[in-house]
Amino acid sequence: MAKNHKGFGVAPGTEGGSSTASPTTEGLSPAQRSRREFLEGTGNTVVATAAISALGVSTLNAAEQADASAAAKTSIQLSVNGTSHSLEVEDRWTLVELLRDHLHLTGTKIGCDRSECGACTVLMDGKPVYSCSQLAVWADEHSIQTVEGLARNGELSPVQQAFVDNNGPQCGFCTPGQLMTATALLNANSNPDPGQVREAMVGNLCRCSNYNAIVEAVVAAGEQGGVA
C-alpha cells in the first residue's frame, strides 16, 4: 500500500496508480486550498506588478525626455584652459556638469555637491570657486581654468610637482580642488608661509586628513618659485 506522507504523498483516491486529480481546489482540505489560492494569487500579483513597473519606467523615461527637451537654454561663450567655447547650455546646469559631462574635463571632482568640501574647485578669472554651486550660464564671457590646464607641454606645474614630492595626495579625490586653490594662492602670493597657506586652503577638505603634507607642498612650491 502506498504511504500517504502529509505534504508530499499521494492524493486521496490515487493509491497504487497515477493521479487523475485536476489542478483545482476540489478534494483539498481547507488548509491546502487556502495555500494553493495564496500561491496562485501571489503569482498573479508578481506578473501584474512587473507589468506595471515596466510601464512606470517607460512613462518616467518619457517624462524625463520631455522635461529635458522643454528645459530653458541659453547660448554662452567662455574660455576653458585657454580654449574658447560657444555652446548652448540648459539654464539648470551647474558649471561642474558642463565641465564634466559636456566638455569631458573629468579632473574636476564632485564631492559633497553643496559647497562644503572643495573637491570641485576651479578658477574663474583667477579666483577659486566651487563649480558645483556655480550655474553654467554664470560662466558666460568668463575664463575658467581646471586641473587639466595646470600642466604645460607634458610638464607638471610647480605646485603639482611639489604635491608629488611632498606626498600631498593620499586617495587623490580632493587633490584637483586642492591644487586649484593652491594655484590661486600662489598667483596672489608667490611665497606664502604655513599660516597663510592654511588660511587660504580652509575651504578644501581632505577626507584622508593629509593637511600637514598639503601645507608643506604649497610652501615648498612657493620656495621653488610659486607657479612660474
pTM over 0.75? The answer is: no
- pLDDT value of residue 61: 74
**Portion of the chain with pLDDT greater than 90, in percent:** 67
- What digits encode the pLDDT tens for the residues 163-207? 999 999 999 999 999 999 999 999 999 999 999 999 999 999 999
Residue 21 — very low, low, confident or very high, per pLDDT cuts 50/70/90?
very low
The span from the CA of 117 to the CA of 177, in Å, is: 9
- Measured from the Cβ of residue 214, the count of other Cβ atoms closer than 10 Å reads 28
- Domains of the chain (ranges plus CATH)? 73-148 (3.10.20.30), 150-223 (1.10.150.120)
Left, alpha or beta for 180 (phi > 0: left; psi -120 to 50: alpha)?
alpha
Q: At what angle do helices 211-223 and 175-188 cross, to 10 degrees?
A: 40
Q: Please, what is the average pLDDT of the chain?
A: 84
pLDDT in tens, 82-114: 999 999 999 999 999 999 999 999 999 999 999
- Please state the rounded mean pLDDT for residues 199-221: 97
Contacts of 75 (CB under 8 A, 6+ apart): 86, 87, 88, 89
Cell matching residue 3: 504511504
Q: Which residues pair with 87 in a beta bridge?
A: 76
CA-CA distance, 82 to 90, in Å (whole number)?
Answer: 23
Provide the residue count of the chain. 228
Nearest to 182 by CA among 224, 124, 122, 130: 122
Average pLDDT over residues 105-125: 97
Q: Would the pLDDT of 40 be above 70?
A: no
- pLDDT tops 60 at residue 2: no
Instruction: Tell me 11's DSSP state.
Output: P
Instruction: Find the DSSP H helices in 17-157.
Output: 30-70, 95-97
Question: Where residue 44 falls among pLDDT bands split at 50, 70, 90?
Answer: low
